[in-house]
Amino acid sequence: MLISALLKGMAAGAAGATALNAATYADMATRARPSSDMPQQTVETIAARTGHDVPGEGEQRDNRLSGLGALSGIVTGVTIGAVAGLFGPLLTRLPVVISGPLLGGAAMAGSDVPMAKLGLTDPGSWSAQAWVSDAGPHVAYGLTTVLTLRALRRS
């Protein structure tokens, strides 16, 4: 039962991560904004602080950091989903309009808090547009994860 809840949560989190990425890319395409380099900076900072060098030089290293940054987002989404799977009975009792944004907020905290703790960003200084650009895709994550988890629990 526990393994099943974890696996369903992981699958729901993967669906949520896909929704988050789609919402992010749609925002980039609509507003012609560049991608964020925060995930790469986070990986680079953690690697440096733990004494692990990211191999390569120049463009090769930059590409590796970009890939590792993207993978870290997927890991965060799947992990939050796994935890949501354990809390599935509670999440399915709450209305989707509450549980989805709550889960999205947890995912947002899972990525933004480490970046702030590492000194890479200060959410208190973000513009309203920056908050919308971050919160919108995370709400898409939360709603998709909760709806997928509900569907998987019924099956």
Mean pLDDT value across residues 16-41 = 95
| Cβ atoms of residues 77 and 88 within 8 Å | no
Nearest Cα residue to 110 out of 141, 73, 136:
73
Helix or strand holding residue 118 (H, E): none
Looking at residue 154, its pLDDT comes to: 86
| Per-residue confidence (pLDDT) for residue 108, from 0 to 100 | 95
Predicted confidence (pLDDT) per residue in 85-134, tens digit: 999 888 888 999 999 999 999 999 999 999 999 999 999 999 999 999 99
> What is the pLDDT averaged over residues 21-49?
95
What mean pLDDT is predicted for residues 5-18? 97
The pLDDT > 70 percentage for the chain reads 100
**Distances in whole angstroms, Cα of residue 11 to Cα of each of 75, 103, 118, 153:** 12, 15, 29, 11
Assign 51 to helix, strand or coil.
Answer: coil
On the question of pLDDT at 139 being above 90, the answer is: yes
Confidence at residue 78, expressed as pLDDT on a 0 to 100 scale: 97
Q: How many domains does the chain have?
A: 1
pTM score > 0.85 for this model? yes
> Which stretches within the chain are classed as H helix?
2-31, 38-49, 58-86, 88-93, 96-117, 128-154
User: Distance between CA 121 and CA 112 in Å, rounded?
Assistant: 8
Contacting residues for 29 by C-beta, under 8 A, at least 6 apart: none
Structure tokens at 152: 């998987």
Mean pLDDT in residue range 6-12: 97
**What is the per-residue pLDDT for 142?**
98
* pLDDT exceeds 90 at position 18: yes
pLDDT at 89: 86
Q: Which domain holds residue 114?
A: 2-154
Provide the percentage of residues in the chain whose pLDDT is more than 90: 93
Say yes or no to pLDDT of 155 above 90: no
Specify the DSSP element, H or E, that contains 35.
none
